[in-house]
Amino acid sequence: MPKLKLPVPSNFKAPPKRPSENGHEERGKLAEKGVSAIDWIDERTALSGGARWLMFRKIPRGTNWFYTLGSATLFAFLSQAVTGVFLAMYYDPNATGAYESIRYLTNEVFMGEFVRGMHKWGSTVMVILIFLHMGRTFFYGAYKYPREMNWVIGVALLILTLFMSFTGYLLPFDQRSYWATIVGVAINGTGPLVGPYLSDFMRAGPEFGATTLPRFYAIHMLLLPGIIAALIGAHLYLVARQGTTAPPWLKADKDPDLRRDEA
Amino acid sequence: MPEHPEKKTPKTTAEAGIPGAYDGETVTRRRFMTGTAHGAGAVAMAAITVPSIAIGVAPVFDKVEQGWQAVGPTTDFSADTYVPKTFTPTPEVGEVGKSTVYVRKYNDQIDTEPRDEYNTFIAISTRCMHLGCPVRYVSASERFICPCHGGVYDKEGKVGGGPPVRPLDRFYTRVRDGLVEIGPRFSLNSEMQRFSPRDPGQPIDGIGQYIYPARPTVRKLPGS
């Protein structure tokens, strides 16, 4: 057998074969080939250490289902990213063609309505999940030292997600999205001193014009997802580095069990 | 580096005892190369990012010229009530670029501002000054009503109730060859003085005109 250490702790590994189980030689050979392929990659990249570091972390006693809300949000983001890429294949970011391209996608394209629906409703789900994840972090006190920076990154991600919602809302370019954007930009303009200039920046001019929709589209599908993906990377790195917190009802000072290192 | 009080900082690399140093050299070649490489990298990054951001921000500084569009012969309009007319302030976006304007003749009974070349006809924008929804004129009550949040304006366009922060915007008008033409937009404070156009939600009474400054993209006509 190769000397690869798979990213699995020793107690997860299969026990050694008994002499009576020798009927599976074919499968053994295939598995050995797979292992040697992974071995080949790992020898050149040393990824297994990083994978072990990321995936097989110790988690505190009391970890429960509420700790999955962050992963759920991540999944919602990935769902938006995948569906968004394929919606972009049909979308025409142009004031005279946008509505028609969405109509075609929804009514004519096989499963178009379904994928568009996933993107549309998924955006709402993502915002809800972010707030639930934030609530879990807040009520469990998980934002405290040494995790303050991760809280700040999380808030930035929340704001960027709301920007995503705002820019994405215009794209179907029906009456609702047009007037919602008019109102949204006007609300932005009520910010003192810089508000009027920011509104001109968002519209690319004093009125809703030919370059407004492409501008919203570029921000929605290129700029914001890039920043969000980078910040999610930082967010996850800090989670893996710092570990998760125990629920606040478990008192480490009073419960000697929590201090015992179960190696 | 720990400081020794009696030891002076060497002025040249030769004084510092760096091997291979030239006489009078003040920067090591390694440091010079490092600085040059970082500097070149910074210049290359700036060459990419600065022009890119510039084209994104450019529309904030570009003045958009608003032309004049005829909306009908002078005989279409009276001083007593408004006639809705459609015109196209932003032509390049198709249907979306169209807008409704309410037009009537100047009326000595209700209009308080002085007559000049631009207000023989009064052209009132349908953009609500709360957040920009489209208002409509209800002739029975002689009020402009906004469907979104209940903004109400009187016959002159002054705020009668609800959340709007200033009177309805207007457009300059003029008469050419017997046709009424609609020109650029302007905003009004509660004394009906003309200001460069502001977006909805921005009051321009008192300190408001400074908190919400006029933008380079749109200005009222000079001398009006």
Q: What is the ipTM of this complex?
A: 0.87
* pLDDT of B4 higher than 80: no
Number of domains in chain A: 2
Q: Quickly state the pLDDT bin for A263 (edges 50, 70, 90).
A: very low
- Establish if B50 touches chain A: CB-CB under 8 angstroms: no
Of A131-145, B1-15, B177-191, which gets the smallest average pLDDT?
B1-15
- Residues B78 and B32 occupy one common structural domain: no
Residue A4 inside a domain? The answer is: no
Q: Which residue of A has its CA nearest to B202?
A: A190
CATH code, domain carrying A196: 1.20.810.10
- Residues A44 and A98 occupy one common structural domain: no
Give pLDDT tens digits for A9-30. Answer: 666 666 666 665 555 566 778 8
Give pLDDT tens digits for A239-249. Answer: 999 999 999 88
- Residues A117 and A33 occupy one common structural domain: no
- Identify each DSSP E strand in chain B by its residue range: 69-73, 83-87, 99-105, 121-125, 136-138, 143-145, 152-153, 159-161, 170-176, 179-188, 194-195
CATH code, domain carrying B187: 2.102.10.10
- Residues B33 and B91 occupy one common structural domain: no
- Residues A146 and A182 occupy one common structural domain: yes
Between residues 111 and 140 of chain B, which touch chain A (CB distance below 8 Å)?
131-134
User: Domain containing A17: what range?
Assistant: 10-54
Give pLDDT tens digits for B44-82. Answer: 999 999 999 999 999 999 999 888 999 999 999 999 999
Q: Which residue of A has its CA nearest to B207?
A: A192
The tokens describing A66, both together, are 């509420």
The confidence score (pLDDT) of residue A2 equals 53
The tokens describing A111, both together, are 């499963």
- Establish if B215 touches chain A: CB-CB under 8 angstroms: yes
Average pLDDT, chain B: 91
Which carries the bigger pLDDT value, residue B186 or residue B30?
B186
User: Domain containing B24: what range?
Assistant: 1-60
A195 chain-B contacts, CB cut-off 8 A: 199, 202, 212
Residue B216 inside a domain? The answer is: no
Give CA torsion, residues B214, B215, B221, B224, to 10 deg. 10
Residue A136 inside a domain? The answer is: yes
The confidence score (pLDDT) of residue A182 equals 95
- Residues B172 and B190 occupy one common structural domain: yes
- Residues A71 and A168 occupy one common structural domain: yes
Of A66-70, A207-211, B38-42, which gets the smallest average pLDDT?
A207-211
* pLDDT of A168 higher than 90: yes
- Residues A181 and A220 occupy one common structural domain: yes
Residue A60 inside a domain? The answer is: no
Tell whether pTM > 0.90.
no
Number of domains in chain B: 2
Residue A235 inside a domain? The answer is: yes
Last residue of a domain, one of A33, A54, A75: A54
Q: Quickly state the pLDDT bin for A86 (edges 50, 70, 90).
A: very high
Give pLDDT tens digits for A29-63. Answer: 888 888 899 999 999 999 999 999 999 998 988 99
Last residue of a domain, one of B28, B43, B60: B60
| Residue of A94, A182, A185 to mutate, testing the B interface (most B Cβ within 10 Å of its Cβ) | A182
Q: Quickly state the pLDDT bin for B22 (edges 50, 70, 90).
A: confident
Q: Which long-range contacts (C-beta less than 8 Å, at least 24 apart) are formed by B3-8?
A: none
- Establish if A195 touches chain B: CB-CB under 8 angstroms: yes
Give pLDDT tens digits for B81-137. Answer: 999 999 998 888 888 889 999 999 999 888 988 899 999 999 999 999 999 999 999
- Residues B18 and B107 occupy one common structural domain: no
Last residue of a domain, one of B20, B35, B60: B60
The confidence score (pLDDT) of residue B14 equals 75
- Residues A83 and A18 occupy one common structural domain: no
Cβ contact B126:A182 at 8 Å: no
* pLDDT of A131 higher than 80: yes
- Residues A113 and A190 occupy one common structural domain: yes
Give pLDDT tens digits for B133-154. Answer: 999 999 999 999 999 999 999 9
- Residues A133 and A173 occupy one common structural domain: yes
Last residue of a domain, one of B22, B43, B60: B60
Q: Quickly state the pLDDT bin for B179 (edges 50, 70, 90).
A: very high
Residue B220 inside a domain? The answer is: no
- DSSP labels for chain A? ------SS-GGGSPPPPPGGGTT-HHHHHHHHHHHHHHHHHHHHH-HHHHHHHHHS----TT--GGGGHHHHHHHHHHHHHHHHHHHTTT---STTTHHHHHHHHHHTSTTHHHHHHHHHHHHHHHHHHHHHHHHHHHHTTTTSTT-HHHHHHHHHHHHHHHHHHHHHHHTT-SHHHHHHHHHHHHHHHTSTTTHHHHHHHHHTSSS--TTHHHHHHHIIIIIHHHHHHHHHHHHHHHHHHH-PPPPTTS-TTT-HHHHS---
Cβ contact A49:A4 at 8 Å: no
B96 chain-A contacts, CB cut-off 8 A: 95, 178, 208
The tokens describing A162, both together, are 């709301």
